[in-house]
Amino acid sequence: MLTSMHFAQDDCSSDLLIRGYGDGIITIGNQQFSQSLILTRDSLVADWRPQHVAELLHDDFALILEMRPEVLVLGTGESLKFPSPALTARLLQIGVGVEIMDTAAACRTYNILLSEQRNVVAALLPG
């Protein structure tokens, strides 16, 4: 089932705005990605190791910690799946907000926070 996401107006100058999500494909600008990725206003890590929530390890959040986000939006695939709280505990301890949702909702939320000039990191699992 294709779930497309489109916005009528872009209030953001970043080239790394999410343009669509559907069938495990994330469209950023003019590129499509089918693997997990980490996204910020200024950077794209297109080879984030985990492909499913069950594969997440503490080390998978090391790069996110280095980015010092205000908010982490974690997209868990086609449906909402919560990782172990121990995996995100360090982020919460240092004051990073952690929002966990399905990837379609995470894509929309990332774009909204980005347009609000928030320091947001999206960690997106596509499938």
Predicted confidence (pLDDT) per residue in 76-111, tens digit: 999 999 999 999 999 999 999 999 999 999 999 999
User: What's the pLDDT at 15?
Assistant: 82
Please report, for the domain that includes residue 32, its CATH number: 3.40.1230.10
Tell me whether residue 4 is in a domain.
Answer: no
Closest among 65, 73, 76 to 112, alpha carbons compared: 73
Instruction: List the domain range (segments joined by +) for residue 64.
Output: 18-125
User: What's the pLDDT at 126?
Assistant: 86
The residue with greater pLDDT, 4 or 89, is: 89
Tell me whether residue 11 is in a domain.
Answer: no
Tell me whether residue 1 is in a domain.
Answer: no
Supply the pTM of this predicted model: 0.88
Q: State the CB neighbour count (10 A cutoff) for residue 60.
A: 17
Query: Model confidence over 33-57: pLDDT tens digits?
Result: 999 999 999 999 999 999 999 999 9
